[in-house]
Amino acid sequence: MDESVSHNLLPHLFRLEYTKLTAVICRQFGFKYIEIAEDIASDTFLKAYETWMINGIPENPTAWLYVVAKNKTKDHFKRLAIFENQVQDIVMSDESVAQEELALDEKTISDSQLAMIFSVCNPANSTEGQICLALQVLCGFSVEEIANAFLTKQETIKKRLLRARASLRTDNFRIEPLNKDEVTSRLDTVLKTLYLLFNEGYFSKNKSQFIREELCSEAIRLTLILAENPDTNLPQTNALLSLMCFQSSRLEARVDKDGAAVLFDEQNKDLWDKALTEKGNYYLVNAFKGGHISKYHLEASIAYWHTTPNDENKWKYILQLYNELILIEYSPVTALNRAFAYAKVYGHDKAIREVEKLSLIDNGFYHGLLGYLYASIDIEIALNHYKQAVALTKSKTDKQVLQRKIERLRFRNDV
């Protein structure tokens, strides 16, 4: 087989089709069969690898995979039925299953993926558990890849997955026929998991740009599945998708070649992805077609204003959006971002008073912001805050960025 085929096509196909196959089999036969579904999907790929190695890649690799998966599923449940009829002599309700043909049309696949998303995002699991499970079951990541993305030990990931999978089996969540009440009640959790999955990529401590992009694009792919289904295509889904598009458009510009964060003002705007910005606009308009305003609406709107670098009023709007956001949900990050917007509108003097009220004295970003605000007012105080920021920051590259600021300030002080 062609070198490039084994290295490029198969992993890509595997990612995408493995999760689809698993989802379809699970949906048809129930989540208690998830391990069997995964085995069938893996076997299918093993067979593909062996066959294609000898005969070359078929014209339509996806269709080829589906035929093999269908047959393997049929075989499996036939064996199961024979076992239950003849060996166990007990006719279980699953017997009927053997006659069922695995349907692999587009509609079934997308419905099954939707069901899988809703099953994985189970509020009974911890958020870390949900994200790990999403990466494994929905995105086809291996334990090693998940551990690598989270910079965590494989053992930890395995434990998280074990717990999460146990509740997946017992939960046996089904959306066939799509139950509106259940969809509505769980959609918030689903969106939150996808939001966190995206943020894992966007704010990842992992230096590899490739891994970051991979996590972000997987989150977008899954959110798109929700947006394409009429029952889940709601304002908040569109708002989240819009937010992801806006953020992704800056993915390349916000990190330098050493993996250090590039501040917004210093980003090379030519690196922003225009196509993604336009998609962000499109979904944001859709998001405001309903009455409900979620935190994703606010975050997407803030991200929208950041794509308009030259609008003189933008910081006024951004500050009001942060006001709304912090009223919905407090977080230190939002409080500090709001304070930064406040400084842009009302100046550093007033903003310092606003920031000092936050008293987040254990937060490196808090001191970093105060250092920035004091720099034009009192260099000694600014230096003091920057030093505390360095002491509180764990990331090596961020420490270096702060250190450079300290040196620049000292230089200014000497001159």
Partner 1 sequence: MKEFALIFRNSLNPAVQPSPEQMQQVLTEWMNWLGGIAAQNKLVDRGNRLSISQSKTVRPDNVVTDGPYTELKEFINGYSIIKATDLDEAVAMAKGCPALTIGGNVEVRALVASEDTN
Residues that bind partner 1 (CB under 8 A): 316, 319-320, 322-324, 326-327, 330, 334-335, 338-339, 342, 354, 357-359
In this structure, are residues 21 and 36 in contact, taking their beta carbons and an 8 Å threshold?
Answer: no
In this structure, are residues 256 and 211 in contact, taking their beta carbons and an 8 Å threshold?
Answer: no
**What's phi and psi for 255, nearest 5 deg?**
-130, 135
Nearer to partner 1 by Cβ, of 154 and 334: the residue is 334
Nearer to partner 1 by Cβ, of 147 and 318: the residue is 318
User: Cα(216)–Cα(223) distance, rounded to whole angstroms?
Assistant: 11
The DSSP code for 250 is: T
Burial of 124 (0-12, 13-18, 19+ CB in 10 A): middle
Question: In the complex, what is the shortest distance from the CB of residue 308 to partner 1, in angstroms, rounded to a whole number?
Answer: 20
Question: In the complex, what is the shortest distance from the CB of residue 339 to partner 1, in angstroms, rounded to a whole number?
Answer: 7
Question: In the complex, what is the shortest distance from the CB of residue 370 to partner 1, in angstroms, rounded to a whole number?
Answer: 14
Beta bridge partner(s), residue 255: 261
Question: In the complex, what is the shortest distance from the CB of residue 401 to partner 1, in angstroms, rounded to a whole number?
Answer: 25
Nearer to partner 1 by Cβ, of 4 and 359: the residue is 359
Nearer to partner 1 by Cβ, of 194 and 339: the residue is 339
Question: In the complex, what is the shortest distance from the CB of residue 327 to partner 1, in angstroms, rounded to a whole number?
Answer: 5
Question: In the complex, what is the shortest distance from the CB of residue 363 to partner 1, in angstroms, rounded to a whole number?
Answer: 13
Nearer to partner 1 by Cβ, of 325 and 383: the residue is 325
User: Cα(18)–Cα(62) distance, rounded to whole angstroms?
Assistant: 11
Residue where the block lists tokens 């959790």: 189
User: Cα(215)–Cα(208) distance, rounded to whole angstroms?
Assistant: 11
User: Cα(288)–Cα(284) distance, rounded to whole angstroms?
Assistant: 7
User: Cα(109)–Cα(23) distance, rounded to whole angstroms?
Assistant: 7
Nearer to partner 1 by Cβ, of 99 and 323: the residue is 323
Nearer to partner 1 by Cβ, of 334 and 400: the residue is 334
Beta bridge partner(s), residue 261: 255
Closest residue by Cα to residue 178 from 187, 170, 169? 187
